[in-house]
A = this chain, B = another copy of it.
Amino acid sequence: MKHVYIEHLQDHIGETVTIKGWVFHRRSSGKLKFIEVRDGTGIVQCVIFKGNVPEEQFQSADNVSLESSVIIEGSVREDKRAPGGCEIDVQTFHVHHHAEDYPITPKEHGEDFLLDRRHLWIRSKRQNAILRVRHTIVKAIRDFFDERGFVLFDAPILTPNAVEGTSTLFETSYFDLGSAYLTQSGQLYGEAGALALGKIYVFGPTFRAEKSKTRRHLTEFWMVEPEMAWYDLNDDMDLAEEFIEYVVQTTLDKRSGELEVLERDLSKLECIQRPFPRISYDEAVAILHKHGKEFDYGNDFGAPDETLISGQFDRPVIVHRYPAEVKAFYMKRDPEDETKALAMDMLAPEGYGEIIGGSQREDDYDTLVRRIREHNLPQDVFEWYLDLRRYGSVPHSGFGLGLERTVAWICKLDHIRETIPFPRTIKRKNP
């Protein structure tokens, strides 16, 4: 008998098939048992009519516990009211393994209770939907770059130096070579890649040993970082805008069912269309002051500032040209105002804050050496990076997108911990 995944049942209306899955819900009504079965690709209602199956199978359907694994044969019947558009008329009902009492029930559970059982919690309708959306966002990200001639460039995870102190770095002993540190960004390596391959993207896990307990922070999270030779800040912003539109619209297109499970207001995503508003740092500060927010000109924005600024718009807003002092040493200065860096951040709507940070990079050797000194960084560890300005330097730009923040925004989640299979936070490294 043909094993069919639940997501494909609609292609088998009228056929007799086998489904293999787990008991998700059950109820009884005299001579009828209704068993909802999940197989990871969807949920379908299986109807067992007393006369249609052997008596002991009918009885076992009464006793079967939630999350027991089952193998069911039956015919697929169209039913427009059913979630997947069909039901199964059961002919044989086989319990493969009787589950012990399943610990996760419809009642409210505490955060730690669920996170301790993350390996089971991901079976729930809601977590399952989030992980499928995550999958589709990752695929959209990769497809976007692949279709535009970017080459994947896997930067190293183990990096040799702690140039700005070790306070936010995970450190490990590396054979006879001293310490190595888990990467916080692949950008500097990505720049070498862009000058070799034209346009590249780094996409891998990054790490922050930050003592932050907010809903926005994970210690381990994935970041995609495109880097493009011959791109200036405007090209960079154009790409970021096209990129976010593509990711959001593709996810809407492929995962509307999952987003409905999450009760996401789809209209908030449908309007994520280019052009996005672009404002300078100065204009962003003016917005804060206009709304009576205390803010000292020259500082970087905090989360409440970002929420207020992005709250003025129904789509992501790009803020560009920040004061150079609050930005990294490698950012190029604005030739029209040397106090400003050619930096840009994209703030997501609905209070999700910064999802993209990027800049045009300093491409002049002497200037970059000066910046390294001004930032009190050791020049020797940057000699290889300076080589990129010794041998055929070109204007180049790039940005980084935090995957989990993007998933949180698109799914409208309260907490970033639900965006990744096994979240790592300051309080948690298990399971």
Contact = CB atoms under 8 A, between A and B. Distances in A.
Interface of A: 3, 5, 7, 20, 22-23, 39-41, 67-69, 96-97, 99-100, 102, 117-120, 122-123, 127-128, 131-132, 134-135, 138-139, 142, 146, 149, 151-160, 170-175, 177, 180, 182, 189, 192-199, 204-205, 207, 209, 211, 219-220, 222, 229-230, 363, 384-385, 387-388, 390-394, 420-422, 424, 426-431
14 contacts: A20-B394, A40-B196, A69-B394, A97-B394, A122-B192, A122-B196, A128-B197, A132-B151, A138-B152, A139-B146, A156-B220, A157-B220, A158-B424, A174-B429
Nearest to A197: B40
A159 B157 CA distance: 15
Given A153-B421, A155-B422, 9 more contacts: A5-B198, A23-B392, A97-B363, A97-B392, A122-B197, A142-B142, A158-B220, A182-B182, A193-B421
A387 B7 CA distance: 26
A230 B3 contact: yes
Task: Determine the main DSSP class of A at the interface with B.
Answer: mixed
Given A149-B7, A426-B175, A155 B394 contact: no
A176 B51 CA distance: 60
Contacts of A170: 158, 172-174, 180
A128 B196 contact: yes
A94 to B, nearest CB: 12
A142 B421 CA distance: 18
Nearest to A191: B119
Nearest to A198: B40
A229 B132 CA distance: 17
A117 B41 CA distance: 47
Contact of A387 (B119, B154, B160, B391): B119
Contacts of A193: 122, 421
Given A135-B151, A205-B205, A230-B3, A158 B196 contact: no
